[in-house]
Amino acid sequence: MPLTSEQAAEIEKLRADPQPTHRATAPGIEAHLHTAIPVLDHGLVRVVDYMGDDSAIVQAARVSYGAGTKHVQNDAGLIRYLMRHWHSTPFEMCEIKLHVKLPVFVARQWIRHRTANVNEYSARYSILDREFYIPAPENLAAQSEVNNQGRGAVLEGEEAARVLSMLRDDADRAYDHYEAMLSQDGQQGLARELARMNLPANVYTQWYWKVDLHNLFHFLRLRADPHAQYEIRVYADAIGKVVADWVPHAWAAFEDYRMGGAQLSATGLECVKRMLAGEEMTQETSGMSKGEWREFEGVLRDPA
C-alpha cells in the first residue's frame, strides 16, 4: 500500500482539524493538502505544505520593478512577461513541500536536482518495507539501439515473462536475506546500516522534498519531458497537475514558454531568417554540425 496505517491516520487527523490562518491561501492547492496521489505500483506524491500563489509572484515583481508595472499589466500578463524574459526571482517567492514515496533508482536520478531541501527515510535507523517497483508489462522495454540512455521496443511474450519473473524473484530473495541478516533466530543481527546494502535499487524509499517554484519549474521542464525516463516522468506529471491548480497563471506561462516553446542558437536563428527570405537551407549551408542540424529540424517540426 502507498501509505502505512500510521501515515494514513496522521493524514486523516490533519484533514479533520483545519487551522485558521492570516496568510494568503490558494484554493486550488488547498484541495490537494494531505491527499496522497498514487504513482507507479506503490509510490505516491502528497502536498504537505506550501507558501505563496500567483499573487505572491506579482507582488514580488512589483517590489522589484516598481509600482508602474501595476498600471500597465494585469497579473497574468506580468507573469508571462517574467517567464518570457527569464526573471526567475519572483517565482522563488512560492514554495512547496512534498512527501514522495519512490523507488531508490528514481530517487538517485531525482536528487541530481540539488536546488531543493531533502530529508529521506533512513534505513540506518528503520527497516525498509518489502515493497519493490515492478514495471507494468507495457513499460517493459528493450534497450534502444540509437539512444544509450533510452528504451526501444516493448518486450513481449516469453521474454517479458522471463524478465518480470527475475525482477520479482530477485527482489524477494534480496529482502529475505535482508531480514535474515537483521535477525537470526533471536541472535543479534547485522547492523541496519550494513544490511541495507543488499537491497536492490527498485526498493521503495520516502522523503520530504521542499523546493521553490522557479527550481520546481526547472525540474518539471526536464522530467515531464516526453524523452524523460517513464518512472520519473509519472512523478513529474503528478506534481505538474498540482502546480497547475496552485498557480494557474504561472503554470500557463510555463507551459507556453518552457514546455511548448523552443530555444534557438544564433546560428539557428540566422537559418530561420534565411529560410523566411526564401533561401533553401541544408545542413551543409547552415553552418551546423549534423547533430545540431538534426535537432534544429526537430524543433521546426515539433517545438515541444
* Helical ranges in 187-265 per DSSP H: 192-195, 213-223, 230-246, 248-254
Distance CA 95, CA 24 (A): 13
Measured CA distances, 272 to 266, 267, 285 (Å): 10, 9, 12
Residue of 80, 196, 223, 233 marked catalytic? 223
For cell 523507488, the residue is: 103
What is the CA angle 228-218-260, rounded to 5? 70
Instruction: State yes or no: is 223 an active-site residue.
Output: yes
Residue 83's nearest CA partner among 57, 55, 65, 63 is 57
Q: What does the block give as the cell for 51?
A: 507558501
- The β-bridge relationship of strands 151-154 and 141-143 is antiparallel
Q: What does the block give as the cell for 12?
A: 486523516
Cα-trace Rg, the chain: 24
Distance CA 180, CA 120 (A): 24
Beta strands in 5-163 (DSSP E): 36-39, 43-51, 95-103, 117-120, 141-143, 151-154
DSSP string, 250-289: HHHHHIIIIIS-----HHHHHHHHHHHTTPPP-HHHHT--
Kindly report the number of other CB atoms within 10 A of residue 64's CB atom.
12
Instruction: Please identify every residue annotated as catalytic.
Output: 223
